Each structure stands twice: as C-alpha cells, then as structure tokens.
Amino acid sequence: MYYISKISTSETNQLHSIILKKVINETTYVSAIGYGGGGVFEEFCGKFHWDEEKDGLAGCFSNFHDPDEWEKKSFELEIIDEPFELINEEDKKIISQITEEIWNEYLTYDEEADTRLIRKKYSDELENDYTYSDDWDDDVVGFISNNFWGLSISFDW
C-alpha cells in the first residue's frame, strides 16, 4: 500500500512524501520519506500492532531508514521508552525490503539537483498533487503521522 505526494509548487514531480505500508501477521510496518520543513527530508520506519492485553496501539520506530535498533517504543499517544533495542532479523528484513521498494519502484534521485523525483508511472497518477494505491487506508498511518514522525504531512481522522 502506498501514498505519494509531490511538492505542489514544483513544476517537476518533486517528492513531498512517500509512505509504504505492509501488514504482515497483524503487524503494520511503515516506511516513509518526506519533507520535514526547512528544506530537510526526514525518514521514518516502524512496526505497530494492536495490543489485546492493554487494549491499544503499540509499536516501535526509528527516525531513519535501515536502523540497527528501534529508537522508541510507543503505546497509544505516548512514547513509553527509548530502549535503543536491536531490531530482530525478520523486522530488519521487512523494513529493508520496503525501503528498497521505495527507491526501486517509486522514486529516483537527481544528484545534480539534489532532488527526489516520483517515477513517471506514479507521477502520471497524481491528482491534486497526490496519489495512493487502491488498497490504501490511513488508519495506522494517520495515528503515527499525527503523533510520532517528523514529516510535515499528517492525516486527519
């Protein structure tokens, strides 16, 4: 599942944000690159699940791609720990696959202009400066974007 937006003032298909989401065994994995403000792009990756015992959304995340450890743990609206806990091999593999998919399928990088560009296949789908897959829903992503990541994009409920 993907969501892609471009910088609305750009005549090219310059990336504003891309979010890929995969649900595996009731765990939602998210990897995102997006404008954080001040000319800076931020990264985010995490895994989240519904905790039956505590009756709420729990997760781990890091503010960059390809981390070796989760920087923060969260439950509902709060960061409950900053464990810098090593990412297990399965989670690392999933996050790496998602990040590779971002660059191999959706984006290119123009080194001369230092610009992230949306590949033509997806830029042709842009309507009102964004596009998303047919199966996209922003349930978990909306919660994460409004509470934990540094990207300038948010999803209202």
Evaluate if residue 19 carries a pLDDT over 70.
yes
Q: What is the mean pLDDT of residues 70-89?
A: 88
- Domain of 109? 2-147
Q: What is the mean pLDDT of residues 84-113?
A: 93
Token look-up 């001369």 returns 112
Judge residue 4's burial from the number of C-beta atoms within 10 Å of its C-beta, 0-12 exposed, 13-18 middle, 19 or more buried: buried
Residues 6+ apart with CB under 8 A from 36: 42, 150, 151, 152
What is the full DSSP assignment across 113-148? TTEEEE-HHHHTT-BTTEEE-TT---HHHHHHHHHT
Residue 157 lies in a domain: no
Question: Sorting pLDDT into bands at 50, 70 and 90, what band is 108?
Answer: very high
Residue 156 lies in a domain: no
Question: Sorting pLDDT into bands at 50, 70 and 90, what band is 157?
Answer: very low
Residue 112 lies in a domain: yes
Residue 154 lies in a domain: no
Evaluate if residue 88 carries a pLDDT over 80.
yes
Residue 124 lies in a domain: yes
Two tokens at 16?
Answer: 């504003």
Residue 18 lies in a domain: yes
Residue 135 lies in a domain: yes
pTM to 2 decimals? Answer: 0.90
Residue 80 lies in a domain: yes
Total domains in the chain come to 1
Q: What is the mean pLDDT of residues 74-101?
A: 90
CB 13 within 8 A of CB 77: no
Q: What is the pLDDT of residue 139?
A: 83
Could you give the 3-state DSSP secondary structure of residue 75?
Answer: strand
CB 70 within 8 A of CB 52: no
What percentage of the chain has pLDDT greater than the value 90?
62
